[in-house]
């Protein structure tokens, strides 16, 4: 038995964003997100369910869901395997856009409902060690909450290092599934019925040759992109070192020229002093300071 790599956007949307994913998505979100007033999701609507048409999902990595809580919160989920410039700003922009676009022209602001952006990344974003982080609008000194309408949650998979045996709660088991699905050959026996359903959806035996080829191409694309980024970084570092060496050599040559000119000026000053030329004239002729000229007498 083999499973899709759920870290790719294709497989992620198949598992969490298809028409069969409702129960799976509710279990996953209830495990990951601490909803206001300790509520659990009772129902949800997937706004953009994943469909099979070829190449769909090659660019769009979002799974938008509308969570039916008392406040009609909206949750945006994204699986991101490649870091890029502006990534953090894009997350904030998309969250703010989903928040603002709820209102139609002329509607009152009190109709705005909270938006939570849940972003799962396969790279490290922050310097602290914990794998799950939660960001809200808070006062800087006393941490008073401004409003709970915007919330950003990040899961950094490289920091989730628990073994299968260490995964005791439902959050651990979901994250283990996302991070390690492609490495497994059996469904972990500790999985509950909903997680087993997720494994069933990810089971490659349930896919056509064309679908598996699409998944392979997606993984290959991600691999090439990652290697291209690594190469660009290496070349950038090498260019930086080369430029540093060139600058160092140039600075050395410049310092040498300056030192040589200074010695030459001092020799000229000595000869002019021997010829009883006044100091001011020597200063104008050599560019030396009076102090430097007087020292050259020694």
Q: What would the pLDDT profile of 22-73 be if each residue is shown by its tens digit?
A: 899 989 999 999 887 777 787 788 876 554 443 344 444 456 666 767 667 8
Q: How many domains does the chain have?
A: 1
Kindly list the distances between the CA atom of residue 67 and the CA atoms of 99, 197, 207, in Å, as whole numbers in the listed order.
14, 21, 29
Judge whether 214 lies within some domain. Answer: no
Judge whether 243 lies within some domain. Answer: no
Judge whether 199 lies within some domain. Answer: yes
Q: What is the pLDDT of residue 132?
A: 96
Prediction pTM value: 0.70
Distance CA 278, CA 294 (A): 11
3-state secondary structure of 119: strand
3-state secondary structure of 53: coil
Judge whether 184 lies within some domain. Answer: yes
Judge whether 270 lies within some domain. Answer: no
Domain that holds residue 99: 9-207
Sign of CA dihedral 243, 246, 251, 254: negative
Lowest mean pLDDT among 169-173, 194-198, 211-215: 211-215
The 10 Å Cβ neighbour count of residue 204 is 14
Judge whether 121 lies within some domain. Answer: yes
Judge whether 78 lies within some domain. Answer: yes
Residues 6+ apart with CB under 8 A from 63: 12, 13, 16, 17, 25, 46, 48, 50, 76, 77, 78
Judge whether 216 lies within some domain. Answer: no
pLDDT digit string, tens, across residues 201-248: 999 998 888 888 888 887 777 777 666 666 655 665 666 666 666 655
């Amino acid at each position: 038995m083999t499973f899709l790599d759920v870290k790719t956007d294709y497989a992620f949307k198949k598992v969490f964003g298809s028409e069969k994913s409702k129960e799976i998505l509710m279990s996953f979100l209830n495990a990951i997100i601490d909803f206001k007033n300790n509520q659990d999701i009772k129902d949800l609507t997937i706004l953009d369910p994943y469909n099979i048409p070829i190449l769909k999902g090659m660019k769009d990595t979002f799974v938008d869901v509308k969570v039916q809580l008392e406040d009609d919160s909206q949750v945006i989920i994204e699986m991101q395997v490649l870091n890029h410039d502006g990534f953090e700003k894009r997350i904030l922009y998309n969250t703010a856009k989903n928040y603002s676009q709820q209102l139609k022209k002329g509607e009152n602001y009190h109709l705005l409902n909270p938006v939570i952006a849940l972003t799962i990344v396969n790279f490290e974003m922050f310097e602290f060690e914990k794998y799950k982080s939660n960001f809200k609008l808070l006062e800087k000194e006393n941490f008073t909450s401004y409003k709970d309408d915007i919330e950003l949650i990040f899961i950094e998979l490289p920091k989730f290092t628990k073994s299968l045996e260490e995964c005791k709660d439902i959050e651990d088991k979901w994250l283990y599934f996302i991070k390690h699905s492609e490495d497994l050959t059996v469904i972990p026996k500790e999985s509950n019925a909903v997680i087993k359903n997720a494994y069933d959806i990810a089971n490659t035996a349930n896919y056509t040759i064309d679908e598996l080829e699409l998944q392979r191409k997606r993984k290959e694309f991600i691999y090439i992109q990652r290697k291209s980024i690594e190469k660009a970084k290496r070349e950038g570092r090498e260019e930086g070192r080369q430029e540093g060496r060139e600058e160092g050599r140039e600075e050395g040559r410049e310092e040498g020229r300056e030192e040589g000119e200074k010695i030459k000026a001092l020799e000229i000053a000595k000869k002019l002093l021997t010829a009883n030329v006044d100091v001011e004239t020597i200063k104008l002729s050599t560019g030396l300071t009076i102090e430097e000229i007087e020292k050259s007498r020694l």
